Structure 1
Amino acid sequence: MQHVAHPERIVDPAALDAVLSAAIGERGARSPQQALVAELKPVLQAGRREIETRFMASQDGAMAMAGTSWLIDTIVRALHRITAQTLFRVSNPTKGEKLAICAVGGYGRAELAPQSDIDLLFLLPYKATPHTEQVIEFLLYVLWDLGLKVGHATRSVDDSLRQATGDITIRTALLEARLISGDEDLFADLEKRFEREVIEGSGIGFVDAKLAERDQRHQRLGDSRYVLEPNIKEGKGGLRDLHGLLWIAKYLFRVRGLDELVERGILSRDEASRFHRAEIFLWTVRCHLHYLTGRPEERLTFDVQAEIGRRMGYTDHAGSRGVERFMKHYFLIAKDVGDLTRIFIAALEAEQKRKPVSLWRRLIPGTKSIEGFKIDGGRLSLVSDRAFEDDPVNLLRLFHVAETHRLDIHPHAIRLVTQSLKLIDGKLRADPEANRLFMEILTSRIDPENSLRRLNEAGVFGRFIPDFGRVVAQMQYDMYHVYTVDEHTIFALAQLHKIEAGELKDELPLASSIVDTIASRRALYLAVLLHDIAKGRPGDHSELGAKIALKLGPRLGLDAEETETVSWLVLHHLVMSRTAFKRDIDDPKTIQDFVARVQSPERLKLLLILTACDIRAVGPNVWNGWKAALLRELYRRAQELMSGGVVADPRDVRIAKVQEQVRELLPEFDAADFAAFTQRGYPFYWLSHDPVTLARHARLMREADRNQAPLTVANRVDLSRSVTEVTVYTADHPGLFSRIAGALSLAGAMIVDARIVTMVNGMALDTFWVQDAQGDAFDRPDKLARLAVLFENVLGGKLDPRKELKRRPALPSRTRVFTVAPRVLIDNKASAAHTVVEVNGRDRPALLFDLTRALTAQGVQISGAKITTYGEKVVDVFYVKDIFGLKIEHESKIRDIREALVRVLTEGDGEPAAKPAAAKAKVTA
């Protein structure tokens, strides 16, 4: 147990004994339980206040853990003494009435976080007697009445040993058992027999089980130490991983702590120091979590990260927020934990003479040499511990050879890598051979993800490419990105490799079909590596990254053309997704502007593949069929324009061709029916839908006319694009879009795209593409049936969507921590016929409904909309006209629209996302 300074200021054992004795003697009408609880509560509260005060002043989690353990130890001892010696005193106890109270788990290590459970083992020589049952029951009831969360077990020594033999969890708990109060001989007997009857001869099995347990835990919590809301106790790189190493050390080597591991040569003094620093940091964060939330919270969620960072002294700097610096430190500590795990396993192997297949691979007979390295236990290792000093290029060559021959790298070799990182200097970075090896690892057709992750975990990646080192453990403080920048980048490269290997043909058919036709393979891989390389720096990361590419390309052996291609891709790596998701790709101007920027078919191919890799690497469920379909359609239309296949004919000729195609799809229409249909649509209508959709519209409108239906709703589920198309045909009137959006929100449908058409006869033909909350098609029959009812009630005036949506619960508190500066961009260049209004702000219930109501109130006609959500941020794009069907170009009107939308963004949430003054309008005339 760590030394606790002035423990009597937390709780004085002698004074506590006196207080409890007096309470029992003077309890009056109160029961003994009530009397003790009344005296212990203020003692517990005062002790906790003292510990928290010390913790806030020192920022020392170890002190808080040890202090809390001391407080609980003292209370349990005093309570046991008064219970056994006064309340249930036995003048001459038999051997069977002996009792030892032991701390187990984290409490057994004297590492008790402020809100953690208290795990107790009531140890008996045999089965419980009535006397010991009375004592244990009384103790537990008092502890529970104090509000303590007590986990307990009552077992004899024999029961404990028997259960430990068959249950790895109980065995681990007993490994750290500590006597708090009671019979010392009984506890000593348990310790001796546990070592002799349970531990002896079972070391390999225990290690095997703990490593398997660790792997299962990692898998359950997301097998990455770089998730942005990490579990600091159970997650990869967290406290439990450190505990696991100590458990294994205690089990195999009978040590009590780090110092003994250093003495035995298992860890170096520096490695033990890293272990201790990681432990202290994680303890401190955990204590802050418990104090801040008032509960045993182990997840470092978004809503607490900023405050804990502030409490730990992480302040905002130019280009870097305090919370991001705090989380970067956390992820670097998590990485250290991974390094220590590998180092420790290497040391275990060196200690073990027997290497079972289940844990360590069997030695291959003889020593096999391969490209200057050797095979040890089936894994690549070093011929000499001086291999890196003799030739620093070996720091890259080791990983290259391992990848080429599909070999694991021996933990001892990795340990030497981490100890040799200082050899990666300017001279090695300029070495042509080292750069060749790196590029071959990056562009390998075997498994670049595994090799790059090894390079990153070992620290080589960030030292060899210093700009990448700046984004190692760099978090992005939002709800859209799930991983740190370095982890996201490696995932993106993994996606590229899978595309090349043909593993994503079903999910990415277009990218998979064109990847083998590109001429700039090396440039594409380097562009994926560098696309986010400048994240976290002041300025536009795309522009800064493009400059980095110009410097790094020649160093890595790329020629001038390849380097320029990489730089262009990094600069424009967001243009394709922004165009597909935020602009109307049925508008010829959108395609023309996109092609003018991309210019060549080769760049178009590279950009499509890079965009797909980038989005798929953001996090689970970010990529879906709808996004894939939009990107494919943008690619095909741009390709057609580049090859001269679009807008070659005048508008009237193109409309006539479309109508001919539609006529072939409507054999059941006579000439009069078809003529009536063609007379209803304005020219824009015919060029903004494909022939199959137009034929569906024709049937829908004819059916509505025959039934004289005031409202017709048609749903079509498109599973290939993960979207449901909802078409509404009804009389047009101001605010119709807003009411439809409100009905869809009430039904739980998320609008991702919308196209609004008013026909010549004054009827509105509005099409919405919607998904459910998980990003899948909105296709449940019960929800679709409810949607039809909601449309009827909302459009008929029976239901006010505004009132209903206001009753919806607010966003979860952990998401409200994010601030998104409101921004309104008004662009008159993006479309030939419309003004494009882009609204950026924090998402909330009813936001789309409120925005469209505001536009309607300004006399704006909405012709279409694109709705995209990036975590807590929403980007809504509206294609609009004024009441005369023209673009909105008057400056005062633009100002009024902007101010109305900013008010919605800043006031509609009840908790402003940012000050209105932060909002700006960009007007492109």
Structure 2
Amino acid sequence: MRSMPARFETLPNRRQIIDRRALSDALGELTPDSADITALRQGMVALMRTALEAGRAEIARRIEEHPSRGTEASSAQAFLVDQILRLIYDFTIQRLYPISNPTSSERIALIAVGGYGRGEMAPFSDVDIAFLTPWKQTGWTEQVIESMLYSLWDLALKVGHSSRSLNEMVRMAKSDLTIRTGLLEARYVWGDQALYDEASARFAREVVAGTARTFIAEKLEERNSRHKRMGDSRYVVEPNLKEGKGGLRDLHTLFWIGKYVHQVSTVAELVDKGLFTREELRRFQKAENFLWAVRCHLHTLAGRAEERLTFDFQREIAMRMRYADRPGKSAVERFMQHYFLIAKQVGDLTAMFLAHLDDSFAARGRRFGLPKLRRSPRKLSGFILDRGRLSLPSDDFFEGDPVRLIEIFALADKHEVEIHPSAMRAAARDAKLIDARIRKDPRANALFLDVLTSHRDPESVLRWMNEATIFGRFVPDFGRVVAQMQFDMYHHYTVDEHSIRAIGLLAQIEKGDLKEDHPLASGIARQLVSRRVLYVSVLLHDIAKGRGGDHSVLGAEVAMRLCPRLGMTAAETETVAWLVRWHLLMSATAFKRDLADFKTILDFVETVQSPERLRLLLILTIVDIRAVGPGVWNGWKRQLLSNLFEAAEEVLRLGHKQKGREERIAAKQQSLKLAMAWNDSQIAKAARRLPASYWIAEPLDILLRNARHIAAAGDRPLSIAAQVYPERGATLVTVYASDHPGLFYRVAGAIHLAGGSIIDARIHTTRDGMALDNFLVQDPFGRPFDDVDRLTRLERGIEDALANRNRLADRLAQRPLARTRAEAFTIEPVVLIDNRASNRYTVIEVNARDRPALLNALAHALFQSKVTIHSAHIATYGERAVDTFYITDLIGDKVDGATRLKALERRLLDAAAGEEAREAA
């Protein structure tokens, strides 16, 4: 608990923000003889409102003029609120509820707690205050407190408040960590100074004394829980400035712990206590200043207390803070890269702070929040163990042989021990010793490859290397993507974090830890001949992002240069370069193409060419998708990749011939016959009625569901069934109806109106003119519809649309737009028409900004173009939608002719851009 922060005293031109003397004089002139409390309070509030608005406008002007002065802006906000509170307090006790002979009970101390107590506030931060009384409240103290709160609420301030006696304050601080932390930051604002001083002394004596270890443990546990809630990474692309990992709350936690242990009042005093060096203090203040600047801009733009740095604000804040575009990197990407580097600094400071703290508590027990050493390794190449952590025998140990900068991480991996923070700090300091000579050193490269391809925990050790900046120094191409964000809604992490997570996932798959999620990949991983090729490919697959070209092509060039340096053979180098060049091929083929079309498989195999490459590519594709972020991987993607792998493997094994196709169809028909208990005649009838493409395209479980559906439908011209399909994490919607033009776009519109999103569609026509269409549908959160009422509503909506019972187009137009975050991105629609990708169909791929009912609009455009859709494949990558259609003209031929193709492209472009065009109009 403390008095006015020093940071207020350094505020320039404080009276331009608020002139308390002038305001006090103006308040004194408010009808001086009046006894009308309500009128007096209203007059006071009106004056305060004008002062508050003027003060906020002045602070906003200052940060607009100096957009990087974050701590100054946050101090100015708190200073403004201080003066407003003091004026309201004085006016309340002098004019509204004056008391001539106060008793010892009629005393109030007004104190600031929490962030406001620190003297830091963003434009829309809560005003956290506490009213302290010596004992139980009297009638007068209740009147004063109530009147002040009403005045603050009338000013539209969001007030967090408490009213406690001294004894209540002590009792509650002992029992509640949040209250104790708030009071730790408590600061005298106005009122009875002696009462505040007594509260401060009692807090130190009765609450803090002797409880430091408990407080530290509780705060570190609270921090870990908060990190887990926020995604447990400081490299999420829409970070929470306040609560996220590497955010302001992490800096606050360090100060709280230091203050609790050493009773200091400022961060600077922690240097004298040995918890920070002068350089670490400078980095703390730099990080704090930057984060506060961003937070103040964020609050101002949002017009509310917003803490999440979402895409729609990132671009505007980058402009406000005067970041500029550079070749290959936009202003917003440069701003966010700076943000992530600051968040990384906060992580480094935390590690060092805890190490200093640990040393000061060394005699009293084991370290804070860190595991005990499992064993004591012997051969440490000159390094030493300090309380179970790898450390240096002398401060100049790295200078003697800079290869040790790599070796320390290889030893940490080999012996499964942590690196002492002081050694990490020395490594970060000496990282500049890694020059061209060290990068070419065969021993250094062998040690690095040992870490990368470790059978233990390569993810953790590579992350340590990255934290110490050794990784980027040793592999400069990797250094270019450190803290680099990808400004889209698909990728959740920075490029370096994504790559390191992918390596961790690869290690888990190889160990069999993810066997349930990836049975195929887990089995294949043990058969690989080229294990280290795979690890290096995963590391390099995104290494050329942000260079202003195709990162796959540029990444392959990086691989050709880097792999020989790492000690890889010419054959290994070629395979790594191939994998980096084609690392998106398998997902693009599986998610955007019709795997039932044999030409798709042949084209894919023509690029892959070998079974080993196919195995490597499958695992690389899986870890790449999973490392994008939580919720991106699902059962449907697993099934599509497995189908493509198995079809390609069969072609490679049988020498590029379409053998096995007839056998596969026959096997499926035989399995269906047994499952349905059909006789030969019944299966023969089904085989004649449905084309070969149907039997190839659909897995056995859908064949079975379709057969039961058709049997239940009998002679009805329309039958719709919606059922949960847990294997794919979606709902299977089957429409069995008399085939007619426009069926697909009507179904797509009805599914959208029911709140669904189509992720895949297979459209089949029986030889007697019935449509049998299978749609995979998810809700807006990527989950299946599983409620009976919603399934029924879905079925009824499709039935109404097909029977034309309501005006579908009007209802779609009336539906309000969602997906406001996607509007932060500008995506020009592109239509690609390919007559070579399939022997039977024209393949159309549409890239556009994702929005509700996009698929309906595209399908309607195809209907107007008088073409038949045979299958549709829907993929979304954050804000970007990629919809692929396999079509023919109405007589079953490919669509050709330059004029017709141009008209088709124009119509689809208009449909894809429809929403934006309407908005612009």
TM-score by length of 1: 0.94
Is 2:866 the counterpart of 1:856?
no
CA contact (8 A) 1:367 1:374 kept: no
The alpha carbon displacement at 1:910 in A equals 5.4
CA distance, structure 2, for counterparts of residue 890 and residue 620 of structure 1 = 45
Report Cα offsets for 1:25-64 as digits up to 9, x if no partner: 2769762211211221111111111111111111212221
Which residue number in structure 1 is paired with residue 564 of structure 2? 554
The equivalent position to 2:901 in structure 1, one of 888, 894, 899, is: 894
SS in 1 for 2:824: coil
CA distance, structure 2, for counterparts of residue 573 and residue 545 of structure 1 = 10
- Aligned-residue sequence identity (percent) comes to 50
CA distance, structure 1, for counterparts of residue 203 and residue 213 of structure 2 = 16
The equivalent position to 1:160 in structure 2, one of 164, 169, 179, is: 169
Which residue number in structure 2 is paired with residue 632 of structure 1? 642
The alpha carbon displacement at 1:651 in A equals 8.6
CA contact (8 A) 2:597 2:693 kept: no
Which residue number in structure 2 is paired with residue 919 of structure 1? none
Report Cα offsets for 1:573-616 as digits up to 9, x if no partner: 00000000001111110000000000000000000000011111
Which residue number in structure 1 is paired with residue 236 of structure 2? 227
CA distance, structure 1, for counterparts of residue 847 and residue 341 of structure 2 = 33
CA distance, structure 1, for counterparts of residue 516 and residue 374 of structure 2 = 44
The equivalent position to 2:526 in structure 1, one of 516, 519, 540, is: 516
Cα–Cα, structure 1 residues 683 and 267, in superposed 2: closer, same or farther, change >3 Å? closer
The equivalent position to 1:215 in structure 2, one of 212, 224, 229, is: 224
SS in 2 for 1:23: coil
CA contact (8 A) 1:771 1:777 kept: yes
The alpha carbon displacement at 1:699 in A equals 5.7
Which residue number in structure 2 is paired with residue 61 of structure 1? 70
CA contact (8 A) 1:208 1:358 kept: no
SS in 1 for 2:309: coil
Is 2:149 the counterpart of 1:140?
yes
CA distance, structure 2, for counterparts of residue 5 and residue 155 of structure 1 = 35
The alpha carbon displacement at 1:264 in A equals 4.0
CA contact (8 A) 2:757 2:780 kept: yes
Which aligned pairs between 1:711-860 and structure 2 lie closer than 5 A?
711-715=718-722, 717-860=724-867
Cα–Cα, structure 1 residues 343 and 641, in superposed 2: closer, same or farther, change >3 Å? same
Which residue number in structure 2 is paired with residue 188 of structure 1? 197
Which residue number in structure 2 is paired with residue 920 of structure 1? none
CA contact (8 A) 1:361 1:378 kept: no
CA distance, structure 2, for counterparts of residue 199 and residue 695 of structure 1 = 69
Which aligned pairs between 1:354-373 and structure 2 lie closer than 5 A?
354-357=363-366, 359=368, 370-371=379-380, 372-373=382-383
Cα–Cα, structure 1 residues 646 and 711, in superposed 2: closer, same or farther, change >3 Å? farther
Which residue number in structure 1 is paired with residue 889 of structure 2? 882
CA contact (8 A) 1:363 1:376 kept: no
The alpha carbon displacement at 1:893 in A equals 0.6
Q: Superposition RMSD on alpha carbons, in Å? A: 2.5
Which residue number in structure 2 is paired with residue 571 of structure 1? 581
What is the one-letter code of the residue matched to 1:747? A
Cα–Cα, structure 1 residues 159 and 680, in superposed 2: closer, same or farther, change >3 Å? closer
Which residue number in structure 1 is paired with residue 590 of structure 2? 580
SS in 1 for 2:363: coil
Larger displacement relative to structure 2 (876-885 or 267-276): 267-276
Cα–Cα, structure 1 residues 355 and 535, in superposed 2: closer, same or farther, change >3 Å? farther
The equivalent position to 2:549 in structure 1, one of 539, 564, 585, is: 539
Which residue number in structure 1 is paired with residue 109 of structure 2? 100
CA contact (8 A) 2:351 2:421 kept: yes
The equivalent position to 2:22 in structure 1, one of 15, 32, 36, is: 15
The alpha carbon displacement at 1:206 in A equals 1.7
Larger displacement relative to structure 2 (351-360 or 82-91): 351-360
The alpha carbon displacement at 1:85 in A equals 2.6
CA distance, structure 2, for counterparts of residue 716 and residue 404 of structure 1 = 51
What is the one-letter code of the residue matched to 2:571? E
What is the one-letter code of the residue matched to 2:602? Q
Cα–Cα, structure 1 residues 824 and 126, in superposed 2: closer, same or farther, change >3 Å? same
The alpha carbon displacement at 1:199 in A equals 2.2
Which residue number in structure 2 is paired with residue 384 of structure 1? 394
Report Cα offsets for 1:458-506 as digits up to 9, x if no partner: 2211111111111111111111111111111111111100111011111
What is the one-letter code of the residue matched to 2:854? L
Report Cα offsets for 1:644-684 as digits up to 9, x if no partner: 1774569989877876776666653463x556544434555
The alpha carbon displacement at 1:756 in A equals 1.8
Which residue number in structure 1 is paired with residue 910 of structure 2? 903
Is 2:52 the counterpart of 1:44?
yes
CA distance, structure 1, for counterparts of residue 24 and residue 696 of structure 2 = 89
Report Cα offsets for 1:729-774 as digits up to 9, x if no partner: 2111111111122222233332222222223322222222333334
Larger displacement relative to structure 2 (691-700 or 135-144): 691-700
Which aligned pairs between 1:323-334 and structure 2 lie closer than 5 A?
323-334=332-343
Which aligned pairs between 1:408-487 and structure 2 lie closer than 5 A?
408-487=418-497
Is 2:613 the counterpart of 1:617?
no
Which residue number in structure 2 is paired with residue 266 of structure 1? 275
SS in 1 for 2:316: helix
Which residue number in structure 2 is paired with residue 71 of structure 1? 80
The alpha carbon displacement at 1:338 in A equals 0.3
Report Cα offsets for 1:336-366 as digits up to 9, x if no partner: 0000111111222233353433627799999
The alpha carbon displacement at 1:415 in A equals 2.1
CA distance, structure 2, for counterparts of residue 421 and residue 657 of structure 1 = 62
Larger displacement relative to structure 2 (597-606 or 866-875): 866-875
Cα–Cα, structure 1 residues 894 and 718, in superposed 2: closer, same or farther, change >3 Å? same
CA contact (8 A) 2:720 2:799 kept: no
What is the one-letter code of the residue matched to 1:584? D
Larger displacement relative to structure 2 (290-299 or 800-809): 800-809
CA distance, structure 1, for counterparts of residue 469 and residue 711 of structure 2 = 68
Is 2:43 the counterpart of 1:35?
yes
Q: How many residues align?
A: 911
CA contact (8 A) 2:849 2:880 kept: yes
CA distance, structure 2, for counterparts of residue 362 and residue 787 of structure 1 = 53
Cα–Cα, structure 1 residues 666 and 290, in superposed 2: closer, same or farther, change >3 Å? closer
CA contact (8 A) 1:363 1:378 kept: yes
Cα–Cα, structure 1 residues 859 and 368, in superposed 2: closer, same or farther, change >3 Å? closer
The equivalent position to 2:606 in structure 1, one of 571, 596, 615, is: 596
Which residue number in structure 2 is paired with residue 922 of structure 1? none
Cα–Cα, structure 1 residues 268 and 760, in superposed 2: closer, same or farther, change >3 Å? same
TM-score by length of 2: 0.95
CA distance, structure 2, for counterparts of residue 717 and residue 821 of structure 1 = 35
Larger displacement relative to structure 2 (445-454 or 154-163): 154-163
CA distance, structure 2, for counterparts of residue 387 and residue 194 of structure 1 = 46
SS in 2 for 1:420: helix
Cα–Cα, structure 1 residues 683 and 139, in superposed 2: closer, same or farther, change >3 Å? closer
CA contact (8 A) 2:724 2:732 kept: yes
CA distance, structure 2, for counterparts of residue 160 and residue 697 of structure 1 = 69
CA contact (8 A) 1:335 1:457 kept: yes
CA distance, structure 1, for counterparts of residue 355 and residue 31 of structure 2 = 58
CA contact (8 A) 1:23 1:39 kept: no
Which residue number in structure 1 is paired with residue 385 of structure 2? 375
CA distance, structure 2, for counterparts of residue 603 and residue 278 of structure 1 = 45
Cα–Cα, structure 1 residues 361 and 505, in superposed 2: closer, same or farther, change >3 Å? closer
CA distance, structure 2, for counterparts of residue 355 and residue 414 of structure 1 = 24
What is the one-letter code of the residue matched to 2:186? A
SS in 2 for 1:95: coil
Which aligned pairs between 1:295-334 and structure 2 lie closer than 5 A?
295-334=304-343
